[in-house]
Structure 1
Amino acid sequence: MTHTLRELNAAVEELWPTRFAEDWDRPGLTVGDVDDEVRHIHLAVDPVTDTVDEAIELGADALLVHHPLLLRGITSVATDRYKGALVTRLIRARCGLIAAHTNADIVADGTSGVLAARLGLVDLRPIVTGEREGTGIGRVGTLPEPSTLGRLALSLAEILPATATGIRVSGGYDDPVSRIALCGGAGDSLLGEAVVLDADVYITSDLRHHPASESREQAVMSAGPALIDVSHWASEWLWLESAATHLRELLPHATVTVSEIRTDPWDFVVTQ
């Protein structure tokens, strides 16, 4: 017995309804014939050449990714452009492509929830509450036992897959931390949220110079969190196994695999 791409898409909608995605987001079914059979589902964070090649080489019938391939508007899918080349390769291989992005971020075991659980945080709640109970952007919680900023950063280095940029920290190594706010993926838009300002540290990715500098200066002057900046890809990769577990439950006749290819865009760093 096999499943179809239509059934896979329905399972994705059940787990992470696209109607709850951010307005700017473009999750959902991107490539594929809904009546095609699906025996093997492969999961990855990014729809890039390496993960598409991997899915096809594995004989996967569908690739479920976190980041939408067509997030920003395009005017061509010609094969001399990488998005067109990927779409063409997927169609020729009869491999469907589905994205679950902000609609997967907000659930209890979404990207932020999984990272919070791996850190052992308790008394969790979203930084920004969603439309449904228990959903929302980011998470804030408390460590089971007080720690220091340095030890927390070391814990993240053990939890997250290694990347060239590693873990960047703004704050004192021995500063005490207990209340933790975090957001998987790019989260500097949440720096001004009250629960983030009340936290001892805020963990996220893609912190830009000006928002990080302003947050640091405000923390020195009055109050505010220390900052930990981690790889965007690494912070969201942890979610894939949780997603795979759900898909195995809903689609028991399909093989579900998780890519371990590092699609963080940075290859090496030179420290000074």
Structure 2
Amino acid sequence: MTTRIDDVVGVLESAYPPERAESWDAVGLVCGDPRAEVRRVVFCVDPVEETVEEALEAGAQLLVAHHPLLLRGVHGLPADTPKGRLVHRMIRSGLGLYCAHTNADTASPGVSDALAAALGLTVTSPLCPHAEGAATGLGRIGELPDEEPFEDFVRRVAGALPATEWGVRGAGPPRRSVRRVAVCGGSGDSNLEVAVDAEVDAYVTADLRHHPVSEHVARGEVPGGAVPNLVDVAHWASEWPWCRQAADIVTTALSDGVEALVSARRTDPWTVHAHGTATDTGRMPE
């Protein structure tokens, strides 16, 4: 039985309904003939040169990415622009591209379920449910099998996710006991207050900024101002576990016709990391 791109799209859109995507988002089939035969699919976070090359080297007919390629409106795709060059190359090579973004973020299971599973959490509820009692929504709340010190939990996170130059950073008392945890794959600082209200011990997300984190930690130092410790990871790393989830969904539904591969290319944009070594940071004048 021949499997076509349209068959894979149908499975993905059943798992990650496109109507759940945010109004500003751009999800769905970007290029490729829906009736084209597909035998191999590669799943990745970013549709960039590296992952397109990987998919072509693997002999894939479809690349499924979490991040959209054309998020903002365009009036043309000339081949002398980065994204235009990518689209032209995929079309010439017979490689389709499908993107599932915010619809995969809020699905159940979705991006944050995959992140929670990677960290060894048992999910109990969404962090920001679509409706009261709903299983869908942004982020997840879960529990570790046992309590552990925050510094050990940060190491757990680092060991569970692919390595990046960004690394994994923790904010808050290192010896604080952690068991109840909130996670949000991708940029999640807009949900800091939700995590506070959820009374979790720690909140894991990406792209946390200096001032919100500094103010958040200061709140925890005030009597009665308990707030969760924070764990900041690389955006790409926080969403990479989703690739395996999506691949498994497709192979389960199309077990006889499609091979699904997870990208091994690190597409986190940060490529160099160094610790500061200055010993004299200056003194206030006496």
One-letter amino acid of the counterpart of residue 240, structure 1: C
| Contact 2:29–2:99 under 8 Å retained in 1 | yes
Distance 1:105 1:173 in 2: 30
1:198 is aligned to: 199
Aligned residues: 272
Q: CA deviation at 1:197?
A: 5.6
Matching residue's letter, 2:138? I
- The equivalent of 1:164 in structure 2 is 165
Q: Which one is further off, 103-112 or 27-36?
A: 103-112
Structure exhibiting the larger radius of gyration computed from Cα positions: 2
Match of 1:37, SS state, is coil
Q: Specify every segment of 5 or more residues in structure 2 that has no aligned partner in the other structure, as ranges.
A: 277-286
**What CA RMSD, in Å, does the superposition of the two structures yield over aligned residues?**
1.6
Cα deviation digits, residues 107-166 of structure 1 (max 9, x gap): 233221122123232351111102593111001122221111100011111110111111
Looking at structure 1, the residues matched to 166 and 198 of structure 2 have their Cα atoms a distance apart, in angstroms, of 25
- Specify the SS of the correspondent of 2:55: helix
TM-score w.r.t. length of structure 2: 0.90
Give the aligned partner of residue 81 of structure 1. 81
Say whether residues 1:257 and 2:261 are aligned partners: yes
Matched, 1:271 2:272: no
Identity %: 44
**Match of 1:261, as an amino acid?**
R
Q: 1:14-49 CA distances to partner (integer Å, 9 max, x unpaired)?
A: 111100112221111111111111111111110000
User: In the superposition, relative to structure 1, how do residues 116 and 194 fare at CA in structure 2: closer, same or farther (>3 Å)?
Assistant: closer
The 5 A counterparts of 1:83-232 are 83-122=83-122, 124-130=124-130, 133-193=134-194, 198-221=199-222, 222-232=225-235
CA, structure 1 residues 123+63, in 2 after alignment: closer, same or farther (shift >3 Å)? closer
Is residue 2:52 matched to residue 1:35?
A: no
Cα drift, residue 75 of structure 1: 2.8
For 1:11, the equivalent position in structure 2 comes to 11
Which one is further off, 205-214 or 181-190?
205-214
Matches of 2:88 and 2:105, distance apart in 1? 28
Which residue of the other structure, out of 244, 258, 275, is the alignment partner of 1:241?
Answer: 244
64-73 vs 99-108, greater mean Cα deviation: 99-108
Over 6 Å off, 4+ runs: none
Distance across 2 between alignment mates of 1:263 and 1:194? 28
Distance 1:133 1:192 in 2: 20
TM-score, structure 1 normalization: 0.95
Structure 1: which amino acid aligns with 2:155? L
